[in-house]
């Protein structure tokens, strides 16, 4: 990747104190962009800023909860006042959950939708005027769950399907204005998402039920997202397993129900018996 491929571009990455978001901040920063990052925790933001500074990258940190409308407005205003424009918004902030729907509290379902889906809607709304002006890019970090449901992940799957629908509609709406909309669907990626996933009543799962060492790294995912951004691709599906799921879901969705069920049943502490 050319070091100056994003020279003078301004990028916002929501939820960038960990995982894919942090890696996007690094990879887009290394490509020459001026980067602003958000998160809900000032200490984690400061630690991420320090870590990236040690690698020679200076990022602007904004304490902002993706699920709060006013925080998204302040995020966009802060970046516009500091950097004068927004070229690329990476809607990355996200949480997951794991519980059977029959046991799942509505509050947990709402929290996942408010962070993953509504957070994306709010951030996109406030950043879009500047992105249109600069013929920039809006990116949604969706998931394989954005086109294929997974049992015990109803709220997460619903939030990602909603993101995909929102962006498909928006893409066509802004295409004549020169705005690029990318929906990135990572497969299993090593990160904190499963550790921080919510249980049926909203407590943190605390550990990953899968072997994180066998997953794609967040740096690889971020490199793929940068590449797709530069090529102005409309979507990106990652991992061999993710691509296979997309294919099987199109041609044999009923058979895939059983394959997915059996795979998820093998997870540690699976709710299926």
Ligand X SMILES: NC(=O)c1ccc[n+]([C@@H]2O[C@H](COP(=O)([O-])OP(=O)(O)OC[C@H]3O[C@@H](n4cnc5c(N)ncnc54)[C@H](OP(=O)(O)O)[C@@H]3O)[C@@H](O)[C@H]2O)c1
DSSP letter at 79 equals: H
Interaction between residue 225 and ligand X (CB under 6 A): no
Residue 7 C-beta: closest distance to ligand X, Å: 26
Interaction between residue 5 and ligand X (CB under 6 A): no
Cβ atoms of residues 252 and 148 within 8 Å: no
Q: 21 or 151, CB closer to ligand X?
A: 21
Q: Which of 67, 164, 205, 208 binds ligand X (CB under 6 A)?
A: 67
Could you give the residue numbers annotated as active site? 156
The rounded distance, in Å, linking the Cα atoms of 2 and 185 is 24
Interaction between residue 39 and ligand X (CB under 6 A): yes
Q: 92 or 154, CB closer to ligand X?
A: 92
Question: What is the DSSP annotation of 219-269?
Answer: HHHHHHHHHHHHTT-SEEE-SHHHHHHHHHHHH-HHHHHHHHHHHHHTSTT
Q: 78 or 92, CB closer to ligand X?
A: 92
Per CB under 6 A, which of residues 103..162 are in contact with ligand X?
115-116, 141, 143
Strand-pair partners of 42: none
Cβ atoms of residues 197 and 204 within 8 Å: yes
Angle (deg, nearest 10), helices 154-174 and 119-133: 20
Per CB under 6 A, which of residues 165..204 are in contact with ligand X?
186, 188-189, 191-193, 196
Q: 268 or 273, CB closer to ligand X?
A: 268
Contact residues for ligand X, defined by CB under 6 A: 14-21, 38-41, 44, 65-67, 92-95, 115-116, 141, 143, 186, 188-189, 191-193, 196, 218
């Amino acid at each position: 990747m050319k070091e100056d491929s994003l020279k003078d571009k301004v990028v916002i990455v929501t939820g960038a104190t960990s995982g894919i978001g942090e890696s996007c901040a690094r990879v887009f920063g290394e490509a020459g962009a001026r980067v602003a990052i958000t998160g809900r925790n000032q200490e984690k933001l400061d630690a991420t800023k320090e870590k990236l500074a040690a690698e020679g990258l200076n990022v602007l940190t904004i304490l902002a909860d993706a699920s709060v409308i006013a925080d998204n407005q302040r995020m966009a205003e802060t970046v516009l006042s500091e950097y004068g424009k927004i070229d690329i918004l990476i809607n990355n902030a996200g949480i997951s959950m794991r519980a059977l729907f029959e046991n799942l509290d509505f509050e947990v379902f709402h929290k996942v939708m408010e962070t993953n889906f509504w957070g994306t809607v709010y951030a996109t709304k406030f950043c879009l005027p500047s992105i249109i002006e600069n013929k920039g890019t809006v990116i949604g970090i969706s998931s394989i769950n954005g086109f294929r449901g997974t049992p015990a992940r109803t709220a997460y799957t619903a939030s990602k399907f909603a993101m995909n629908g929102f962006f498909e509609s928006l893409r066509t709406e802004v295409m004549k204005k020169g705005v690029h909309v990318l929906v990135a669907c990572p497969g299993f990626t090593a990160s904190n998402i499963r550790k921080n996933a919510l249980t049926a009543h909203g407590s943190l799962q605390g550990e990953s039920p899968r072997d994180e060492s066998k997953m794609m790294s967040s740096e690889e995912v971020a490199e793929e997202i940068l590449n797709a951004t530069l090529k102005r691709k409309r979507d990106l599906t990652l991992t061999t397993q993710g691509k296979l799921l997309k294919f099987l879901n199109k041609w044999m969705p009923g058979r895939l129900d059983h394959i997915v069920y059996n795979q998820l049943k093998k997870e540690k502490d699976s709710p299926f018996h």
